[in-house]
Amino acid sequence: MAQSNISIELVDVKKNLLENRALNGVSIEFSSGLLHGIVGADGAGKTTLLRTLIGLLRPDSGQIIFRQNEKTIEFSEIRDCLGYLPQQQSLYPDLSCIEHLDFFRDLYKLPQNIYFKKRDELLHIMRLEKFKNRKAGELSGGMYKKLGVMCALLQSPEVLLLDEPTNGVDPISRRELWELFYRLASENILILISTSYMDEAERCARVHILEHGKCLFSGEPRAILKQENVSKFEDIFIIKRARG
């Protein structure tokens, strides 16, 4: 799988959406081969950040620097290495799981032998083999998210951006998704996961806390908790809001 060590750095990135400052001077470094959590409540700027990284939005100011093996490269050079799962529903309700995978096979122009091996592997990992002919509109919330992740993984991306992949997912599917994320991280894939679940912050190798378009904290979860003298990330927001 991925071995090219892609990293991304944001330097004072700002982005306005209408009258809202969605990103307000965000500076973050996403180190290669790690599982990064972008954590914050609704409206914190998580989706805007991921959409800016994937090239769907352009920053109003600041820099986004992409590096491969510590060498600065253009976004166009790694565009095909990126996998993205949007927050909103993006699958076709009338297409089955297999039909979705076939669609993305054609989109990514995958050779048949590579596609069939990858498809069967993903169906097995996601435990969707028995549901491969079920339409997306008839899937449970957890299975729907799994199918979306499968479509993003089909081309074996070196960078994976997942916007709230566990939101609305049942506890068992949520656990299975995190097991998959750890497996992918062990294969040297750079993974960025946005979430509003504070408990998921502690599951990441690096965590980046957003609020009102600003990055409040960035680093190893345990180091941040120790620095703020709290036992869980919810307490950081409670203390901050109590201080005004």
Q: What is the 3-state secondary structure (H, E, C) of the chain?
A: CCCCCEEEEEEEEEEEECCEEEEEEEEEEECCCCEEEEECCCCCCHHHHHHHHCCCCCCCEEEEEEEECCEEECHHHHHHHEEEECCCCCCCCCCEHHHHHHHHHHHHCCCHHHHHHHHHHHHHHCCCHHHCCCEHHHCCHHHHHHHHHHHHHCCCCCEEEEECCCCCCCHHHHHHHHHHHHHHHHCCCEEEEEECCHHHHHHCCEEEEEECCEEEEEECHHHHHHHHCCCCHHHHHHHHHHCC
Q: What is the pLDDT confidence band of residue 47, given thresholds at 50, 70 and 90? A: very high
pLDDT at 3 over 60: no
Identify which of 65, 31, 70 has the alpha carbon closest to the alpha carbon of residue 192: 31
pLDDT at 224 over 50: yes
Average pLDDT across the chain, whole number: 91
pLDDT at 240 over 80: no
pLDDT of residue 2: 43
List, for residues 135-150, the tens digit of each pLDDT value: 999 998 889 999 999 9
pLDDT at 193 over 50: yes
pLDDT at 1 over 80: no
pLDDT at 4 over 80: no
Domains defined for the chain, CATH in brackets: 6-90+160-242 (3.40.50.300)
pLDDT of residue 170: 86
Q: What mean pLDDT comes out for the span 57-76?
A: 94
Q: What mean pLDDT comes out for the span 21-42?
A: 94
pLDDT at 60 over 50: yes
- Give the rounded percent of residues in the chain with a pLDDT score beyond 90: 72
pLDDT of residue 244: 60
Q: What distance, in Å, lies between the first and last C-alpha atoms of the chain?
A: 47
Name which residue leads in pLDDT, 12 or 169. Answer: 12
